Structure 1
Amino acid sequence: MKTTCKTVKLLLMILIVSSKLALAINTHNPGSYNIKDYGAIGDGVNLDSKAINKAIDAVAMAGGGTVYIPAGNYLSGSIHLKSNISLFIDQGATIIAAPVSAANGYDEEEMSVNTSYQDSGHSHWHNSLIWGDNLHDVSILGQGTIWGKGLYKDYVKGKQTSNKAIALYLCRNVNISDVSILHGGWFAILATGVDNLTINNVKLDTNRDGMDIDCCRNVHVSNCSVNSPYDDGICLKSTFGLGFARATENVTITNCEVSGFDEGSFLDGTYKRTKNSEYGTSPTGRIKLGTESNGGFKNITISNCVFNYCRGLALETVDGGLLEDVTISNITMRDIVNAPIFLRLASRMRGPADVPVGELRRVIISNVVAYNVEPGQGVLISGIPGHPIKDIALKDIKIYYKGTGTAEQARREVPELEKGYPEPGSFGVLPAYGFFARHVEGLRIDNVALNLLNDDQRSAFIFDEVKAVELHFVKAQVSNGVAPVSLKGMADVTLFQSLNLPDGKLKN
């Protein structure tokens, strides 16, 4: 009996010592900074951003670590990220943006190096829900949610309108993984001048742009789902927001999905489609390079992505930047509301004076299937007079168009719109249902099949002021009496086993 009592006492002593040791380790572990230990309540009513920022300050003072946000609803103003910090939002935890005001802890717009050549949203970062400026080694992680409930949904005159869910400026070594963002404000994620950026397994269901990657280098976006009915989904930009032109370069985007369902209906699984959207336009939700393009885009690869009920792929340089060395492969699209592929070089030139027009060159797009494409615009590749798009290859592509184009539409003259905003819909209904290429030099179309779901009185292809265009193994459905190809201006087009026409040069 005495032996048994001694054994029990020994076990109790070991348990007490182990508990104290575990508590001591946990207390001094930088990964154990729970925001509730700093006063956070998590009831969705009381403002918790002061407590969150206190925890961040404590971790920074300790040399780095993880700020832990447990399950709960945390009403918040601006959260200030710091270097060597991981903000871990656990499953069941939601950071809720309070209505934007100084009283709710939002920071004012900071003085910017430049506000002339881009909108307010690309000129300020500090007036956001979560922001970081000149930081390194920063992560936002976890299976929780960021809900930008109180962020403005659009421009409101006289108010702070450029707030974002997450805004990062001149940072490096940044990782955003696993979180979900609902209603992200001006942009759900804005990264400007950020190097070594990873965005992985993130779900965005938002009212404006999903993620804007601006003037960034060495970027990896993977396994993300972005629903953005009223603006772009995954968007690379190169603004003048840094005060100088800097390319967005060395970027991979892979295994991602973009869509334009009603806001909120992606995360809740209802996937609603409202015909008359809040903005009176068709859904956007695409992957795009541009519109802001002062610094250009270099060394970009996009692969294994899905477009669903949204606009098509867009590559644009209109502000003097170079868009070059881009490969895009393994893309599937369904219910596309305008051009499935849009390449645009123009001279909007929203930037400092005397900058020359940019160039768009060396692009390969392959292995694409697009089904149920609206009849307004097919593939649209357009430079401007004196500035052709160069060295483009499109191969292994199948596109199924809705058709219904009329003979009157087939006679339309398409405006140049050299200075205009680069959007496929701005050109109106195109006179070709499949491809319209103008001011292009060096275009190879290889193993491409165009199909119609309904009769269409337009040609499949129109080439206008083009040089060195080659069609190899190209098929296109056309209605009775409609020529498959129409040439305008100077056109140097060669066929090989294509369109049931003789091999060789086409003539006007």
Structure 2
Amino acid sequence: MIRRALLTGAAALFALPALAAHGLFDVRDFGARGDGLTLDTAAINTAIAAASKAGGGTVLLPAGHYLSFSIRLLDKITLLLAEGCVLEAADPVLNKGGYDLAEADLPEQFQDFGITQFHCSLIYADGASDVSIIGRGMIFGKGLVREDSGARWHGVSGWIAPRSADPKEIAMQGKGIRAIGLKNCRNVLVRDVTILQGGHFACHLLGCTNATIDNITVDTNRDGIDIDCCRDVRVTNCRVNAPHDDGIVVKASYALGRKVTCENISITNCHTSGFETGSVLDGSYRLSDYRSVDDMGVLGRIKLGTESNGGFRNIQISDCSCENTRGILVGVVDGGVLEDVVVSNIILRNPVNHPLFVRQAARLRAPAGTTVGACRRVRFDNIQVSGADGRYPCGVQGIPDAPVMDVSFSDVHVLSSGGGTAEDAARTPKEKRESSLEVSFMGTLPAYGFYGRNARGLSLRDCTFDVEKPDARPAIVLDDVKGGRISGFAANTVVQKNGSETTLLP
């Protein structure tokens, strides 16, 4: 599965613009063996240091099988994984070594271990500019950690003990947790590479500006692509299979020790899925039997807002498809303002839960004094959904003191299994103010098409909600929804509760 054809023709290498600008540094000239047995860490990092000393350049890993611990990129370095190259993350036990030690420089931590720590990656850069990871080679994260270690966020404002005081985090030192990690970098390019089993995060950007992730393939056992506290990032033409966690996720965590808005992010022409790990690369596309903690099944989706301390602005998700995953989920739970988000031209096939959902909550995993955030101006347009689970319609869910505001759904068409009962129609879903972004706690909802609660300025236009089996629930249920408009909707089963004031138009 990890073998590739040898590079055909040196001309393909020298056609790359990066090679024309600077010298080429072949890791074999610095002692790399590429035999899959010898640790090539020192040789690769020595080649990078030589290129840096020369003012920048391209470090080439030709066809071969390279075993390595942490590779540290510097300014103006392009790491080129040639076709036929496999870069394997070494196992610290089997290879008697370890990855660079994780950072321990934050007095407070409001996220799980690893969201802050980047030096414990297979390939990483910290504070670098003009860095690239390109080529048709493969990164195989065989020796990376992907299971939860038990090392969790401290979550206590004022916690000032050094990170090394946590024995669970001490146990993580020397282990690798991600394939690619770029932190506080400018002018970033990740293109064409394939990542198999990427650890906790296959490709993770934190605090980066002007970054492009293009045409990469990820087939992994945890997160695929994470964009956190970044600005001006483009994710294009990517294929991400991530049954055990999110496929492509945008975050605004507190991992930099301050609140940073994640803004001007576009995700276009990408495909995510939740098939068995490795089965996209080998072409078998096997269905995964993975069941997450809420027992809904695989993840693999596109998501915005898992961590929301800094908030989000100007986010575009367009011309994408998701197959056998959870639906697209957008919202804030840790304070911060989410605004001006557009999700358009999307195909969802066989989503295992709510196809489209906007969530506002008040978990507030954040510094003391953080207040409830806001979620406003979100638009879903031209979306086709098939094979949806009838228990979980589209919807919005705010909280009484922070309703979701100005959300619109237009030209959204959903075909679900249906089959809801009169008992389902009579349900009042649980409200959980201090929840994570996930909405599975609400269970089966009392509408088969759309459920809205605690919202202002909700608009549904030219939407259809069809079912394969008869359903005793109304198509739409609105609970404490004011200033709403529904137009171009053929069904007459719209239920409004608790002071809802929504205008129904032809």
TM-score (norm 1): 0.89
Note if 1:424 corresponds to 2:433: no
Describe the SS at the equivalent of 2:121: coil
Aligned-pair identity in percent equals 44
Richer in helix (by share):
1
Does 1:496 find its partner at 2:488?
no
Q: Which residue of 2 aligns with 1:487?
A: 496
Aligned counterparts of 2:341 and 2:436: Cα–Cα separation in 1: 22
> Residue 163 of structure 1: CA displacement?
1.4
Q: Displacement, 1:36?
A: 0.6
SS in 1 for 2:363: coil
Moved more, 154-163 or 191-200: 154-163
Q: Output the amino acid matched with 1:110.
A: E
Please give the per-residue CA displacement for 1:311-350, whole angstroms capped at 9, x wherever unaligned.
1111020111100011111001100100111101111100
Count of residues paired in the alignment: 466
Q: 1:313 to 1:114 in 2, by over 3 A?
A: farther
Cα distance in 2 for partners of 1:404, 1:464 equals: 22
Partner of 2:53: 61
Tell me how far apart the structure 2 counterparts of residues 292 and 324 of structure 1 sit (CA, whole Å).
Answer: 15
Q: Which amino acid aligns with 1:126?
A: H
Letter in structure 1 aligned against 2:70: S
Task: Indicate yes or no: 2:30 matched with 1:38.
Answer: yes
Q: Which amino acid aligns with 1:174?
A: V
Of the three residues 446, 455, 472, the one matched with 1:440 is 455
Displacement of 1:168 in angstroms is 1.2
Residue 227 of structure 2 aligns with an amino acid whose one-letter code is I
Say which of 97, 110, 122 aligns to 1:104: 97
2:258 corresponds in structure 1 to 244
Shift of 1:114: 4.9
1:194 to 205, 208, 212: 208
RMSD (Å), alpha carbons:
1.8
Q: 1:120, 1:162 within 8 Å by CA — same for their partners in 2?
A: no
Inter-CA distance 469–77: structure 2 relative to 1 (3 Å threshold): same
- Where do residues 334-483 of structure 1 align in structure 2 (5 Å cutoff)? 334-476=349-491
- Shift of residue 380, structure 1, vs aligned partner: 2.1
The residue that corresponds to 1:152 in the other structure is 145
Structure 1 residue matching 2:47: 3-state secondary structure: helix
Task: Give the whole-Å Cα distance in 2 for the aligned partners of 1:419 and 1:384.
Answer: 10
Aligned counterparts of 1:85 and 1:215: Cα–Cα separation in 2: 23
1:229-285 per-position Cα deviation (integer Å, ceiling 9, x unaligned): 011011000000111100110111100001100000011111100335587651101
1:32 shift after superposition? 2.0
Indicate the structure whose relative CO is greater, using CA pairs within 8 Å and at least 6 residues apart: 2
Q: Residues 399-419 of structure 1, C-alpha deviation per residue, up to 9 Å, x if partnerless? A: 001112121111111111110
1:137 aligned to 2:130?
yes
Give 1:115 deviation, angstroms.
4.7
Of 237-246 and 400-409, deviating more is 400-409
Paired position in structure 2 for 1:229: 243
CA distance in 2, matches of 1:372, 1:203: 25
SS in 2 for 1:37: helix
Contact 2:463/2:489 (<8 A) preserved: yes
SS at match of 2:49: helix
Report the counterpart of residue 165 of structure 1 in structure 2: 179
The one-letter code of the counterpart of 2:121 is S
Kept in 2, the 8 Å contact 1:114–1:241? The answer is no
Deviation at 1:29, TM superposition (A): 8.5
Alignment of 1:238-387 (within 5 A): 238-277=252-291, 281-387=296-402
Which deviates further from its counterpart, 452-461 or 221-230?
452-461
> For residue 203 of structure 1, what is the aligned residue in structure 2?
217
Matches of 1:473 and 1:422 in 2, distance apart? Answer: 30
> How far apart, CA to CA, are the structure 1 residues paired with 2:432 and 2:176?
29
Q: Distance in 1 between matches of 2:489 and 2:440?
A: 26
Secondary structure, in 3 states, of the residue corresponding to 1:397?
Answer: strand
> Paired residue for 1:118?
111
Gap change, CA 1:229 and 1:86, over 3 Å in 2 = same
Q: Given the superposition, is the C-alpha separation of residues 71 and 287 from structure 1 closer, same or farther in structure 2, using an over 3 Å criterion?
A: same
**Distance (Å, rounded) in 1 between the aligned partners of 2:288 and 2:208:** 36
| Alpha-carbon shift at residue 152 of structure 1 (Å) | 1.1
Deviates more, 1:156-165 or 1:407-416: 156-165
Classify the secondary structure of the residue corresponding to 1:54. Answer: helix
Determine the structure 1 residue equivalent to 2:120. Answer: 127
Partner residue of 1:89? 81
Instruction: Give the letter aligned to residue 179 of structure 1.
Output: V
Q: Secondary structure at the match of 2:305?
A: strand
Looking at structure 1, the residues matched to 48 and 206 of structure 2 have their Cα atoms a distance apart, in angstroms, of 22
Unaligned residue ranges in structure 1 (runs of 5+): 1-21, 477-482, 498-508
**Structure 2 residue 67 is matched with structure 1 residue 75:** yes
Tell me the alpha carbon deviations over residues 278-326 of structure 1, each in whole angstroms, 9 at most, x when there is no partner: 8765110111111100001101111100010001111020111100011
C-alpha distance in structure 2 between counterparts of 1:114 and 1:315, whole Å: 30
Segment of structure 1 superposing worse, 270-279 or 387-396: 270-279
| Separation (CA, whole Å) in 1 of partners of 2:355 and 2:107 | 34
Measure, in 2, the Cα distance between the counterparts of 1:290 and 1:424: 13
Q: How far 1:124 sits from its partner (Å)?
A: 0.5
Q: What's the secondary structure of 1:55's corresponding residue?
A: helix
8 Å Cα contact 1:377-1:424 kept in structure 2: no
Q: Runs of 5+ in structure 2 lacking a partner?
A: 1-13, 151-167
Match status 1:48 vs 2:62: no
Deviation string 1:15-45 (CA, Å, 9 cap, x unpaired) is xxxxxxx9xxxx9994321111111111111
Q: What is the alpha-carbon distance in structure 1 between the residues aligned to residue 147 and residue 366 of structure 2? A: 24
- In the aligned structure 1, how far is the partner of 2:304 from the partner of 2:353? 16
Q: Give the equivalent residue in structure 2 for 1:213.
A: 227
Provide the C-alpha distance between the structure 1 equivalents of 2:370 and 2:39, rounded to a whole number of angstroms.
48
Give how far 1:89 is off. 0.2
Q: State the alpha-carbon separation in 1 of the partners of residues 368 and 390 from structure 2.
A: 38
SS at match of 2:51: helix
Contact 1:139 1:176 in 2 (8 A): yes
Kept in 1, the 8 Å contact 2:208–2:229? The answer is: yes
Q: Contact 1:181–1:203 at 8 Å: present in 2 too?
A: yes
Q: Distance in 1 between matches of 2:237 and 2:258?
A: 32
